[in-house]
Amino acid sequence: MFGFGNDKEIEVLDEYFKEFVNFVQLKQNKIAKRELKYSSKTNAILDSWNKLVDDTASGLKNDTKIMGEVVLLTDKMEQGIFGCRVHGNPSNPLIYALKVNINKMADEIEKDIKKLKNTIEHYTSNDFRSKVDINPNLKADMLSVMNGINTLGNALSTSAKQNLSNGQQLESNSTTMTDSVTNLANKANQQAASLEE
């Protein structure tokens, strides 16, 4: 009917196809290639499927490696380590797009964290002139944090200027007070001298 040797060969092809589908759907992690021991037509199909299994297994293995790198990268980022990237080259276009976007995200987060770190280091050295350069694409919480750091810098700068002004005023008042005390002491000495006379 189909031009195959017998029902056993059709059963072998059917079983191989189902096993291949399970393998592609990751319901099983291995698939055994079939021996070419049937009629020429069945062997031709099995040979073609064996090659397809090899290519698919290679692609899935590479994709699994990439997904492992993604898991490691996200784990590192969760720990606050931002220097990791996904390096593999998947043939699957969706996984390739995932790799590109995850690496791009990691690049941007690492840049933002470095900006925050550098600015905060300046603040701890009492240099409040430093500001975080904010990427215009930034939104939500990270934008709020960046703006908050800049607002903090402005507040610390204003406070430092006010403290400097207050210090200068105290110094001026102290000098005036010292002059007044000296003047008062001189007058007291003069009066004491007058009384002695």
pLDDT of residue 1: 42
Q: DSSP letters along the chain, please?
A: --S-S-HHHHHHHHHHHHHHHHHHTTS-S--PPPP--S-HHHHHHHHHHHHHHHHHHHHHHHHHHHHHHHHHHHHHHHTT----------SSHHHHHHHHHHHHHHHHHHHHHHHHHHHHHHHHTT-----PPPPTT--HHHHHHHHHHHHHHHHHHHHHHHHHHHHHHHHHHHHHHHHHHHHHHHHHHHHHHHHH-
pTM: 0.66
* Whole-number average pLDDT of the chain: 86
Q: What is the mean pLDDT of residues 18-45?
A: 90
Q: What is the mean pLDDT of residues 22-31?
A: 90
Contact 159, 126 (CB under 8 A): no
pLDDT of residue 71: 95
How many angstroms separate the CA atoms of 61 and 53, rounded? 12
pLDDT of residue 15: 93
The pLDDT tens digits of the residues spanning 131-184 come to 888 888 888 988 888 888 888 888 887 777 676 667 777 777 777 777 777 777
pLDDT of residue 69: 95
Alpha carbon of 26 to those of 55, 62, 69: distances in Å? Answer: 15, 14, 18
Confidence of residue 5 (pLDDT cuts 50, 70, 90): low
Backbone Cα Rg of the chain: 39
Q: What is the mean pLDDT of residues 62-88?
A: 93
How many angstroms separate the CA atoms of 15 and 26, rounded? 16
Contact 106, 82 (CB under 8 A): yes
How many angstroms separate the CA atoms of 40 and 44, rounded? 6
The pLDDT tens digits of the residues spanning 83-134 come to 999 999 888 899 999 999 999 999 999 999 999 999 999 988 888 888 888 8
